[in-house]
């Protein structure tokens, strides 16, 4: 009886008219992100930039100040920074001049040297990595070649120049050979160390699944040795830059090394100092370039 009464009540309620309820249009509310986190990020970035840039600037300013004081005295053998800038102003502000022969601006001198470094260092990288992998994987190769490499890597770069000139009879390939023979040793040594440090479990897995030698190199050896390889490359590119500057002083022609030697013969001490600054900056950029490439390659290999 109670169930029937409830059903009747529901039916009566369904028959009742539904009152018209006014429907309001939806209001669009825009969300304004708080500015405080943005300001905090900007402030943090500014503090990080200042912490990185400010210390070198302070040290540089102190160095220039002390240099200015020491070399401003009468009878000083080296010019102060103000005189260096005044004497070498044309060389600084116009690096693209070309008066023919070896009388060229800093851009052409550095470009010529970098071209030689690129060729010699590329050969050293290819041969060095290949020999490093061979020595790291073969005990016999390590015992036979490692002592020889350890002896040869201690020979100064310029000591190879007379031998290369006698063999090639030309200054250009001789300079490339000096770059090659100077920069190859850290590449070989670091690559071989990386190969020897590959865990034995990786080798066992490769043997179980019967990977080919190329698959072993690409999937196991290369990813495990990339950090070691690029450490050797960073050291090698620095040695390449050192070697070409020293070699160019003797072989002549266009190049930043010969420019320094020619400036010395002409008593242009200010030009030598500016060229040394350029050499340091280029060497720093080369090191950062190899480090950046190594960072991306390491992350790319790690994500495969």
Residue 224 inside a domain? The answer is: yes
Task: With respect to residue 274, please indicate whether it lies within any of the assigned structural domains.
Answer: yes
Half-sphere exposure of 119 (CA within 13 A, CB side): 13
Q: Which ranges of the chain would DSSP assign to H, the alpha helix?
A: 2-15, 35-71, 81-87, 89-93, 106-137, 139-152, 157-168, 171-196, 200-208, 213-216, 222-251, 256-265, 269-302
Per the domain annotation, does 34 fall within a domain?
Answer: no
Per-residue pLDDT reduced to its tens digit, 31-59: 555 556 777 777 888 888 888 888 889 99
Looking at residue 125, which CATH number applies to its domain?
A: 1.10.3720.10
Q: Is 36 within the bounds of a domain? A: no
Mean per-residue pLDDT of the chain? 83
pLDDT score recorded for residue 76: 81
pLDDT bucket at 7, cuts 50 / 70 / 90: very low
- Measured between its terminal Cα atoms, the distance across the chain in Å is 75
**Is pLDDT larger for residue 280 or for residue 26?**
280
Tracing tokens 């770059």 back to the chain, one arrives at 179
pLDDT at residue 196, as a whole number: 87
Long-range Cβ contact pairs of 146-154 (< 8 A, separation 24 or more): 146/192, 149/185, 149/188, 149/189, 152/181, 152/185, 153/185, 153/186, 153/189
Per the structure, the count of domains in the chain is: 1
pTM, two decimals, is 0.77
What CA–CA distance (Å, rounded) separates 201 from 263?
59
Structural domain of residue 157, as residue ranges? 101-302
Q: Report d(CA 66, CA 81) in Å as an integer.
A: 10
What DSSP string runs through 2-41?
A: HHHHHHHHHHHHHHSPPPP-PPPPPPP------HHHHHHH
Is 54 a member of any domain? Answer: no
Reported confidence tier of residue 24, pLDDT bands at 50, 70, 90? low
In a domain, 283, yes or no: yes
**In sequence order, what are the beta bridge partners of 98?**
104
Q: Of 229, 225, 248, 249, which Cα lies nearest the Cα of 237?
A: 229
Question: Can you read off the two tokens belonging to residue 138?
Answer: 């073969």
Helix axes 157-168, 222-251, angle to 10 degrees: 70
Q: How far apart are CA 97 and CA 257, in angstroms?
A: 18
Q: What's the alpha-carbon Rg for the chain, to the nearest Å?
A: 34
65 assigned to some structural domain = no
């Amino acid at each position: 009886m109670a169930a029937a009464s409830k059903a009747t009540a529901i039916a009566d309620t369904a028959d009742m008219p539904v009152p018209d309820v006014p429907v309001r249009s939806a209001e669009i509310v825009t969300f304004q992100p708080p500015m405080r986190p943005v300001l905090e990020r900007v402030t943090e970035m500014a503090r990080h930039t200042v912490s990185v840039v400010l210390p070198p600037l302070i040290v540089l300013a102190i160095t220039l100040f002390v240099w200015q004081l020491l070399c401003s005295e009468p009878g000083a053998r080296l010019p102060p920074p103000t005189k260096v800038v005044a004497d070498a102003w044309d060389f600084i502000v116009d690096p693209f001049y070309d008066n023919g022969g070896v009388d060229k601006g800093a851009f052409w001198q550095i470009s010529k040297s970098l071209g030689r470094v690129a060729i010699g260092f590329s050969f050293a990288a290819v041969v060095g990595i290949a020999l490093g992998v061979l020595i790291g994987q073969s005990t016999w190769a390590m015992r036979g070649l490692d002592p020889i490499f350890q002896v040869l890597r201690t020979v100064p770069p310029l000591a190879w120049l007379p031998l290369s000139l006698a063999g090639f009879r030309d200054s250009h390939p001789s300079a490339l050979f000096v770059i090659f023979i100077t920069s190859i040793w850290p590449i070989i040594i670091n690559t071989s160390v990386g190969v020897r440090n590959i865990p034995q479990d990786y080798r066992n897995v490769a043997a179980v699944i019967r990977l080919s030698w190329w698959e072993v190199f690409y999937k196991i050896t290369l990813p495990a040795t990339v950090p070691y390889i690029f450490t050797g490359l960073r050291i090698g590119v620095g040695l390449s830059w050192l070697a070409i500057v020293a070699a160019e002083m003797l072989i002549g022609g266009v190049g930043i090394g010969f420019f320094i030697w020619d400036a010395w013969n002409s008593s242009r001490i200010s030009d030598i100092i500016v060229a040394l600054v350029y050499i340091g900056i280029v060497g720093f950029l080369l090191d950062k370039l190899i480090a950046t490439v190594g960072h991306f390659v390491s992350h790319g290999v790690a994500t495969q």
